Structure 1
């Protein structure tokens, strides 16, 4: 169940939001997996919402999908995220409350047309990576119910994996948005901290928490993040993230020099097979880095003073009602009593040193590639060894939020026993778009180009630039714009005061645009918007005789755009009669 397929069915008339919801409700009933859900939307209310969207779709057609990018898409929400009128339990019935306001991320998704199916089970208070620490039952794996589903966002991941929702929200502090994705064969996107508001989320470690997204593929996860992201002035941990932009000229990928699978030969073989496939891709370079600082930082999360931050979130409740908490969860949070303020500062100093060492080791790379999990335990084994096996599942995840990084977990080559095996690409803060585009390209997804041209909404000053030749969409130098996070905002023409020339001896071939006093023409251009902080870099790459000046558009606006030195036009061919560079190239090809 993907957003692309659902919307294609809506436009073709093969389905409607109402039919889609009936299909989802039927799947939920047939699956007989009550442990996935803690609460569900009233079926009558859900059907009424779907019928309202049926009417919108019938009236507006494709325009409705442009206005409501998630129209009629069923989704689920982890039950530590507030939804108006529905209990928030954090998998602890005695803790439950009914919020008056939905979390901003939920509000944004509903405003985009998505249909909320229900709230999903989790490791209590988001403390765990196994999916077994809940009074609502252990959430069984979507592929083999004998195995763990991963946590803490267990219900959200399994709901997506079983087609009960097209996407779902989770949270991620130590890996809760990635481990369940890897263990259930789906995509888990953990954004840069602060990109999605965490207001209305029951905290685990408030300084580290992220809202994460589960989806069937990378394109869907990115579409959801675009709808959900946005600065929230009421969330003190919300940030205006400066995105890195994208690249398609090869990636530099680091792999841990010390790989650990805790004796799981099938997991090791699956990772090695995925890595071998990636090494065969053209343009990618690989190297190894010392994993020690990453491993040591991961250990700090549960073996250091950060357990006190979990106590700051829910400790007063657990202290007042100790029998209401899951015993393993209560034991972990209770460790806070072993640390004092001095320990907290010492932990920060240790973390700063480890982060600097990690940054230095990754300085020559775009990403770190790791197994999403080093092993895949059975539920029975986790119940027998709850702390030890939980710690193993966080071996490649716990450090990411500590180091302020973004991560994208995706399916890799399956294990020899048929169970899923995922890999995760991890990048610096702001690399969210770069990660999504890179994963789509490396996995051979046809959506890579579309993803590259679709950055997050701008949250910073921008400048508009009119391009006329090799920087047009699909042309050889368009990547100079995409690499700087640019978005195409218009296809239009200049005012009728210009002439276009084919410049001789340029590689790749380029045109020159010149304003004239008479006999001008309207020339096809595209207007692209890019962050102002990247504009200087873009201009610096433009070779003579071209430059950036100001262009008058057909609607009378003036924007920055490509111009050409007059001397270069003397020996150039006037191609104005074609009306634009693409039309000229088509005629040349013919």
Structure 2
């Protein structure tokens, strides 16, 4: 699908969903259309743009050239000189920014309601919160408006919104993605994160955002061969969860066990005790360091545009004594030592991303209490300098349930591999331009597809060379009456969401249907509308697309 078509569909989707609270600044469609045309022209000229046409949103505390950075406070707005590095790197790979998204003001909150631009409603249930602080970014992805969105994560803001909206959130090791061009919440803890509907899409984006870390690579324990080793929490240490969530967590545990992982229980106490320290201890003083003087000044001028809950958190942090910070640092060091000892040689810790999913009314009634509960499992991650990935893990009463995997710094790729075991997998048969080495194969790879086997169809199909760009064949079922042939095919495994994305972008005359393989099994595969065969060369006797290409070109392309 062309970048121009993607943009047109996105703006139509924005109008159809009618969620104005998602955006702080939305770029004019004419301006974005022109950028998309340029991307299409560059691709047509042979330029390699791996994210060509991918649509991107950026949280409103991240610099985007041409748009004001507000951090959710209109009075704070400034015009950046250029893109933040995270944005610039995605744009250099072909991504197109639609705009900046709403957030809990100054990235202070896990609820998505603390904004003068309005509360961001959940993608599944408008009566519930979207999760914050990266609320607008997560919902823009969940509603299918953008492919990728940037958030930030200090206490869980790149993970809680992912869980509440049924998408993926990657929170990388601190320092892998530069925080230059990001309004800080707690500068020593902040991370730039990425949201996507599939894990492979999120990983691909993160790969382009990442730069060599300025930190020294720690001496990670040498991993001995064997199954993944996963630590889990004892049910009694999870605390009170929403109805059905304990069972959903146990189902995720069972899924990892069924995939061959070794599981063991750890003591969650050091994690939850450290989580409480993030807001209840002295570490919140860093939020005052970031924007406190501005907040104080704005209050003296009347406080217009300040969220009262955010203002209260930041101004109270001003008076925390220095000795408390040193005492909390000592305590945190002890808790981190205990937490890492509990992890031991485990590859990851599996937890629910949040204990529950409150309504907008529940958060309004108790803004601080509701927020504190949401960070029970996420708050300690950056305090302990850990990496994390949040992924969907089913539905409970019609709402998404999510889990996260947490591991030592610089184990980001390992966590993603384990997380992929929790994603539903489907199979698809390909016979033409999506075959290994063919022009559209990267589309499969970008969706996380893995080659399972090479085989042939049952002898009930004929193959034709279509006049398309890029060239591709058309497979048509003819049954046993009209002699067919065994046609070379590849069977790929990919996430269920990935197959949905593939189908949504499938151009005519291609269709998706059941393809019978030589062993008698049936899997979804690419077929062709019969009307497209008029004038198309029958190439069945070649036995497959690649054999046909070799017959007309020695290179087979």
TM-score of the alignment, normalized to the shorter chain, above 0.5: yes
- RMSD over aligned Cα, in angstroms? 2.5
Structure 2 residue aligned with 1:255: 232
Q: What do the CA deviations read for 1:320-342 (whole angstroms, capped 9, x no partner)? A: 11214211001111221341111
Unaligned runs of 5+ in 2: 428-440, 446-450, 453-557
Would you say the 8 A contact 1:36–1:120 is kept in 2?
A: yes
Q: What do the CA deviations read for 1:465-518 (whole angstroms, capped 9, x no partner)? A: xxxxxxxx99xxxxxxxxxxxxxxxxxxxxxxxxxxxxxxxxxxxxxxxxxxxx
1:338-487 matches, cutoff 5 A: 338-415=319-396, 417-443=397-423, 445=425
Secondary structure, aligned partner of 1:425: strand
Q: What do the CA deviations read for 1:436-476 (whole angstroms, capped 9, x no partner)? A: 122124435579xx99xx9xxxxxxxxxxxxxxxxxx99xx
Distance 1:412 1:248, change over 3 A: farther
Write the distance in 1 (CA, Å) between the matches of 2:289 and 2:312. Answer: 15
Unaligned runs of 5+ in 1: 1-14, 233-237, 455-472, 475-590
With the length of structure 1 as denominator, give the TM-score of the two structures.
Answer: 0.70
Distance 1:269 1:441, change over 3 A: closer
Residue 59 of structure 1: how far off its partner (Å): 2.6
Write the distance in 2 (CA, Å) between the matches of 1:84 and 1:248. Answer: 47
Secondary structure, aligned partner of 1:412: strand
Distance 1:246 1:191, change over 3 A: farther
2:45 is the alignment partner of 1:45? no
Structure 2 residue aligned with 1:22: 8
Would you say the 8 A contact 2:392–2:403 is kept in 1?
A: yes
2:131 is the alignment partner of 1:150? yes
2:169 is the alignment partner of 1:193? no
Write the distance in 1 (CA, Å) between the matches of 2:225 and 2:416. Answer: 12
Write the distance in 2 (CA, Å) between the matches of 1:242 and 1:18. Answer: 44
Distance 1:42 1:241, change over 3 A: farther
Structure 1 residue aligned with 2:215: 239
Q: What do the CA deviations read for 1:285-331 (whole angstroms, capped 9, x no partner)? A: 11111111000100110001111100000000111112142110011
Following TM superposition, the consecutive aligned residue runs of length 4 or more in structure 1 with deviations greater than 6 angstroms are 242-248
1:67-466 matches, cutoff 5 A: 67-231=48-212, 238-239=214-215, 249-257=226-234, 258-282=236-260, 284-322=261-299, 323-324=303-304, 325-415=306-396, 417-443=397-423, 445=425
Structure 2 residue aligned with 1:509: none
Write the distance in 2 (CA, Å) between the matches of 1:243 and 1:87. Answer: 41
With the length of structure 2 as denominator, give the TM-score of the two structures.
Answer: 0.74
Write the distance in 2 (CA, Å) between the matches of 1:427 and 1:172. Answer: 16
Structure 1 residue aligned with 2:459: none
Structure 1 residue aligned with 2:545: none
Would you say the 8 A contact 2:259–2:421 is kept in 1?
A: no
Distance 1:191 1:263, change over 3 A: closer
Write the distance in 1 (CA, Å) between the matches of 2:25 and 2:145. Answer: 14
Residue 260 of structure 1: how far off its partner (Å): 2.8
Farther off after superposition, 157-166 or 243-252: 243-252
Residue 345 of structure 1: how far off its partner (Å): 0.8
Write the distance in 1 (CA, Å) between the matches of 2:224 and 2:203. Answer: 16
Would you say the 8 A contact 2:252–2:422 is kept in 1?
A: no
Write the distance in 2 (CA, Å) between the matches of 1:52 and 1:241. Answer: 40
Would you say the 8 A contact 1:373–1:396 is kept in 2?
A: yes
Residue 204 of structure 1: how far off its partner (Å): 0.3
Distance 1:37 1:246, change over 3 A: farther
Distance 1:230 1:247, change over 3 A: farther
Q: What do the CA deviations read for 1:371-401 (whole angstroms, capped 9, x no partner)? A: 0111000011101110001111100100000
Distance 1:156 1:18, change over 3 A: same
Structure 1 residue aligned with 2:490: none
Would you say the 8 A contact 2:354–2:377 is kept in 1?
A: yes
Residue 366 of structure 1: how far off its partner (Å): 0.8
Write the distance in 2 (CA, Å) between the matches of 1:407 and 1:77. Answer: 20
Secondary structure, aligned partner of 2:394: coil
Farther off after superposition, 116-125 or 260-269: 260-269
Write the distance in 2 (CA, Å) between the matches of 1:224 and 1:111. Answer: 11
Residue 140 of structure 1: how far off its partner (Å): 0.3
Residue 58 of structure 1: how far off its partner (Å): 2.3
Write the distance in 1 (CA, Å) between the matches of 2:246 and 2:343. Answer: 23
Secondary structure, aligned partner of 1:413: strand
Would you say the 8 A contact 2:255–2:422 is kept in 1?
A: no
Q: What do the CA deviations read for 1:225-254 (whole angstroms, capped 9, x no partner)? A: 11111148xxxxx53657979998411111
Q: How many residue pairs were aligned?
A: 429
